[in-house]
Amino acid sequence: MSNHILESMKTLSYFCAVICAILLMGCSSVVQLTSDWKTAEITIDGNHNDWETSLYNLEKTNINIGVLNDTENLYICLISYDRNVRRQILDGGFTVWFDPAGGTDEKYGIKFPVGRPRKNRTMNVDYDNRPPQMPGRNDTEVDDIMPPPMPDNMDSLSWRSDFGDKQNKMLSMFNEIQFLGPEEKDVQLATILELKTIKVHIGMTDRAFVYELKVPLHRTDDFPFTIVPTNRKNIISVEFKTENISMSRMGMPAGGPGGRGPGGGGPPQGDRPSAEGPRVGYGGPGGRSAERDSNSSEPLELWVQITLASIVTSVQ
């Protein structure tokens, strides 16, 4: 009798261990990050200068992410050298989703930029080696916004500064923003110029595409949602998501407002980092991740779990 009970307990323990292992593997698609307490002013201008010591290098996604917070706001910086990511953001739009419960449900979203009309979207070509003028293409469009060859009569510093100004002037054309709720119909439109408590900006620095966001943790006149963590661990989940622009070129929707996929809220598929990425200084070791194949059309769908900082932990 006792041997039978002992064997049953061993079997139960084995199945419990297997279930725990499966659950841990299921959570491996979410990157774990820790926010720092904001101790200095952060200017939301599409420049990475304020984030030089606060970046996580996510090598498998070709992205650097910085996260800060105080009692009122969450600050996010995303930097990418991946040409395809930039193209997807500008063509199809870029949505940052929030789940205050720390899961992977697309509860509240901010879509900026919202993307361009399909007729103005770019073709998947190598713009570094393109001819001066392509048929049907307007060279004033912001497509891949990569630098042309440097003129012989201009020094490198002046050339980079001049082209950087042109890049950011073109990016300033993107001023529409969408606020997305849990339902497909929950879409509110605004322009970034009329917002007071939310700040968002995109820019180019050298070959880095920079996205900066300041979003209130609590509901405001500008922001219709509350994203304060609803769990005791003070964790909020954030998803960075682009639209599948290859589907858009064929006239196929990629999931409705905000680029929601069928069902929405599911964890991202594919190989994603499972642990906290290494903290890097900008341009330091690992600061620039190897670029993905620029011909790839795989959209970005990256969930991160962020442990918010508190005043108590920030002064210890």
Q: What is the reported pTM?
A: 0.68
Using CB atoms within 10 Å of the CB of residue 215, give its burial: 0 to 12 exposed, 13 to 18 middle, 19+ buried. buried
**Backbone φ and ψ of 64, nearest 5°:** -110, 140
CA distances from 227 to 221, 231, 240, 304 (A): 14, 11, 15, 14
Cα–Cα dist 161/172, whole Å: 17
Sign of dihedral through CA atoms 77, 83, 89, 95?
negative
Domain ranges for the chain: 28-123+143-314
pLDDT at 225: 94
Task: Quick: pLDDT tens for 153-212.
Answer: 555 555 455 545 555 556 657 779 999 998 888 899 998 888 999 999 999 887 889 999
**The residue type at 50:** D
Cα–Cα dist 241/97, whole Å: 8
Task: Quick: pLDDT tens for 50-102.
Answer: 998 889 998 777 899 999 999 999 999 999 988 889 889 988 999 999 999 99
Task: Quick: pLDDT tens for 15-52.
Answer: 544 444 444 333 447 899 999 999 999 999 999 889 98
